[in-house]
Structure 1
Amino acid sequence: MQLILVRHALPQRSEETADPPLAELGHEQAARVPAALARFAIARTVSSTQLRAKQTGSVLAAELGAMLESDERLTEYDRDFGGYVPIELARTEFRDAFDRIKAGHLPEEVDEDAFRARVLAGIDAAVSGVEHSDTVVVFAHGGVINILLQDILHTPTVLGFPIDYCSITRILYSRNGSRSVAAVNETQHVWDLLPRNRDRSTNSTESS
């Protein structure tokens, strides 16, 4: 069985809620996902209950004519925060918090053990009851994806991998229940739509 984890697309910045909708660029990114996954026989689509993940997943679900299930256990560690700042903006506006995340650590106020327990329970539920030949797609968040990767690979920190918007991470489950990581953070389908690459392209055009 194959589990595909897709990080949500770029959301809007919000000072009022940790659950903002997708930005215009985020909708463009999400539209690239169905073609990137077209070669797989997808049996189930599941999303975090946060809006940015649901809006990203709804594009694929509509393409498949399938129901997008949702599970609050797949929500990000920031779900109870008072706002949302995309990580590329946090680099300059909240440098200490940015550096902590880039060093692989969750924010200090997050209960790491509780976060890990609920995420792994949500992942187990998403893959439960499917056939060995099936593919399940879960739309979630960078922290959620990293929790599963750490559980499989035993990385020293929770946030061990950069996980880009709409990136694809693939986990293979054997018949005996063992798990292996087939791919992490595949981004070729949205490479030109990632903020850092768009910024480089803009700067290159301006300098020329």
Structure 2
Amino acid sequence: MRVTVKKAYPVFSWSWDTDSVARDVYCNNPEHNVRPDINSETYAFLRNYRNDEDDVCGICRVSYNGVCPNCKIPGRSCPLVVGSCNHSFHFHCIYRWLDTPTSKGLCPMCRQEFTLKPEVLINEPHAQKFMELISRNRERRLAMEREEQELNNELREGGVVVDEPDQGVPVMQPGLGSDEEEDEIDYDSNDGMRM
């Protein structure tokens, strides 16, 4: 049987091995005259700590080496993509996330607009599909902003005051005369609370 590799997509992952570094520095270096207790609680934690959180998809929480739940063919490797924010996801997971209206086209980790990182080899096969998705998300977001603006305009025309950030907060002031006087509404743009 002959196998021909057509494309390779290397992915680099690293983590600090603080336990062995500390042991090398403190135990094997005669310049350090204070030796830490390698069996202390801190070193026990570091020995047991594994940085597996960085090795899983931020959406499905499955290892990058595993198959994401959205893959249709079991046993087939799920391709990875890297965003311009440097967050990596399974292709199917991030595509499905971005295709929902509630995602607003934002990265689920840092909430920046998600775009594929340019000039990254593993992103190239998916670039066109993501460009279409990003364009669709931008159109969707603009439509939502237009609808919100139209709704605000309709409310204003109907006599309903929409809270604006630069306007004060209405504050009720009790009348100073008899009980029959009506309370006044006074807008205080400084602190919103005036008695």
TM-score (norm 1): 0.20
Richer in strand (by share): 1
Bigger RCO (CA 8 Å, 6+ sep): 1
- Larger radius of gyration, structure 1 or 2? 2
TM-score (norm 2): 0.21
